[in-house]
């Protein structure tokens, strides 16, 4: 039922945007920029010289990039923008953003959203890449706006000598799981360790480890059915291991 409601909202949002786009293009200087904010977060920044009432774009990942949920920002919240999203598959996220009737996002510059992501094992891939496609912007008067979109790309194997990865986070087992799974990791030297579980919105749902540990192999069992706050729904979760100032993430699927 929830999945059907989300699909209906997505279709309704697309229909509303299509109505707004029955006009010729307007000349504008707008730029959508993707920026890798951390090891599991991509920021979407907009620099716009015209007020924008409607957005449509797809976020695409390559090189083992898998997406969680798109989250709006303070900038979009202040403009009361509605955000509709559809995760077509792990590496394609479709977004529609609409302003209220006779309203628009004011001219300005700043983050309009963030996307939680993880990297899966992808033999042969040297780089990870996130880019935008099918980008459409329009005004409250249903005019197209010119827009330039940039991508973000990084080397999966590049390491700085002073920041060698001194640990490894393994894929949880079993995966998918219900209701419990085992997360294992290896430390090559003593370090401050923090292991936590996040949902697709980037919200922390469980803290599993937060202490200094010696080198060695570690296993932690996570039982999703005994979550303190509430029963967790089926879906995608992320195990995030932080060792010192370095981070590794693994995608986990809870299937009830």
Strand (E) or helix (H) holding 75:
helix 74-78
Residue-wise pLDDT tens digits, 46-89: 989 899 999 999 999 998 898 988 988 889 999 999 999 998 88
* Closest listed residue to residue 53, CA positions, set 88, 26, 92, 85: 26
Backbone φ and ψ of 8, nearest 5°: -65, -40
Mean per-residue pLDDT, 128-153: 90
Mean per-residue pLDDT, 117-144: 84
**Residue located via tokens 């709006």:** 72
What tokens does 202 get? 């980037």
Q: Is the pLDDT of residue 161 over 50?
A: no
Would you say the pTM of this structure is higher than 0.75?
no
For the chain, helix (H) and strand (E) counts, in that order, are 2, 17
């Amino acid at each position: 039922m929830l999945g059907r409601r989300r699909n209906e909202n997505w279709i309704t949002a697309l229909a509303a945007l299509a109505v707004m786009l029955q006009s010729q293009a307007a000349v504008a200087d707008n730029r959508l920029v993707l920026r890798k904010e951390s090891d599991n977060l991509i920021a979407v920044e907009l620099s716009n010289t015209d007020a924008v009432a409607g957005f449509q774009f797809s976020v695409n990942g390559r090189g083992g990039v898998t997406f969680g949920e798109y989250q709006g920002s303070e900038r979009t919240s202040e403009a009361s923008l509605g955000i509709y999203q559809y995760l077509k598959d792990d590496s394609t996220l479709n977004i529609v953003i609409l302003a209220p009737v006779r309203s628009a996002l004011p001219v300005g510059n700043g983050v309009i959203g963030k996307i939680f992501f993880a990297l899966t094992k992808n033999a042969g891939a040297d780089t990870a890449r996130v880019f935008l496609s099918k980008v459409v912007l329009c005004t409250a008067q249903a005019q197209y706006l010119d827009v330039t979109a940039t991508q973000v790309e990084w080397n999966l194997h590049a390491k700085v000598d002073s920041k060698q990865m001194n640990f490894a986070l393994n894929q949880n087992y079993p995966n998918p799981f219900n209701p419990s799974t085992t997360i294992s990791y290896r430390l090559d030297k003593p370090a401050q360790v923090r292991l936590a579980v996040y949902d697709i919105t980037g919200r922390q749902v469980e803290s599993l480890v937060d202490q200094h540990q010696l080198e060695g192999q570690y296993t932690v069992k996570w039982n999703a059915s005994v979550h303190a706050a509430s029963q967790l729904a089926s879906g995608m979760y992320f195990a995030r291991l932080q060792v010192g100032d370095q981070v590794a993430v693994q995608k986990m699927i809870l299937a009830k």
